[in-house]
Chain A
Amino acid sequence: SQQGEEDPQALSIQEGENATMNCSYKTSINNLQWYRQNSGRGLVHLILIRSNEREKHSGRLRVTLDTSKKSSSLLITASRAADTASYFCAFNAGNNRKLIWGLGTSLAVNP
């Protein structure tokens, strides 16, 4: 299956702690994106990292990409209760123009 795999499936932390979630895939990719989804609502784009990039930052978010290990990680620093959501990775592989999505990590940040 081309589907991405994310771990952990669920993560519970205290406010102020850092949260790290990982995404693995099986094929060569052109780019990888991370999205956030609040309970049953639409997805919001967080960050895109291209296959020739290794690290990218956006505010409290840091994304890394290791193409040799076919994996990416999303780090949220100094988490807040408002970061509680599901986080999905999505990637584009080869000539396939559709995005392939992971199963998501459910993050709970406790106040």
Chain B
Amino acid sequence: DAGVTQSPTHLIKTRGQHVTLRCSPISGHKSVSWYQQVLGQGPQFIFQYYEKEERGRGNFPDRFSARQFPNYSSELNVNALLLGDSALYLCASSPGTWGNTGELFFGEGSRLTVL
């Protein structure tokens, strides 16, 4: 069975640009979460979606937005990129119900570099 897949794996953008990151959860998983991990730190929670609705949001500015599609895949959008947005963006899926904080299954991440 395929795990969580993310695309692109690496990308370089310049300040002020926009980026869209994509995530396909494990088949049967209805919950998708997004995390930002800056080098040398732990992941920081950005969003959780369950059944296509936002169920949780971390302390990120409105430049960050996301959505979940009927097939449970998800997109993370970041507008007006700043240098500080450079990070590894991780998507995680889980089979559980809304707010389930059991085991998360992570993709390999999308490494974003903002110049």
Residues of A whose CB lies within 8 Å of any CB of B are 3-4, 30-31, 33, 35, 40-45, 48, 88, 90, 92, 97-104
What are 5 A-to-B residue pairs whose CB atoms are below 8 Å? Answer: A40-B88, A42-B107, A88-B42, A99-B104, A100-B45
Complex alpha-carbon distance, A31 and B33, angstroms:
18
Q: How far is the CA of A79 from the CA of B88 in the complex (A)?
A: 28
How distant is B48 from chain A, measured CB to nearest CB, in Å?
Answer: 7
Within 8 A of A (CB), among B41-88: 41-45, 48, 55-56, 58, 88
Question: A45 CB to closest chain B CB, in angstroms?
Answer: 5
Binding site for A on B (CB under 8 A): 4, 33, 40-45, 48, 55-56, 58, 88, 90, 92, 98-109, 111
User: Which A residues touch B111, using CB under 8 A?
Assistant: 40
> Once bound together, how far apart are the Cα atoms of A15 and B33, in whole Å?
36
Main SS of the interface on chain A? Answer: strand
Give the residues in chain A near B43, CB-CB below 8 Å.
Answer: 43, 88, 90, 101
User: A99: nearest residue on chain B (CB-CB)?
Assistant: B101
Q: In the complex, which residues of chain A have a beta carbon less than 8 angstroms from the beta carbon of B108?
A: 41-42
Shortest CB distance A68–B (Å): 22
Known contacts: A42-B107, A97-B56, A98-B48. The answer to whether A92 contacts B101 by CB under 8 A is: yes
In the complex, chain B residues whose CB is within 8 Å of the CB of A3: 42
Interface centre among A3, A43, A88, A92 (most CB of B within 10 A): A43
For B111, the closest partner residue in chain A by CB is: A40
Chain B residues, Cβ within 8 Å of A48: 102-103
Please name all residues of chain A whose beta carbon is closer than 8 Å to the beta carbon of B107 when the two chains form the complex.
Answer: 42
- Contacts A40-B111, A45-B103 known; 8 new A-B pairs at CB < 8 A: A43-B92, A44-B106, A45-B105, A97-B100, A99-B101, A102-B42, A103-B40, A104-B42
Residues of B within 8 Å of A45, CB to CB, are 103-105
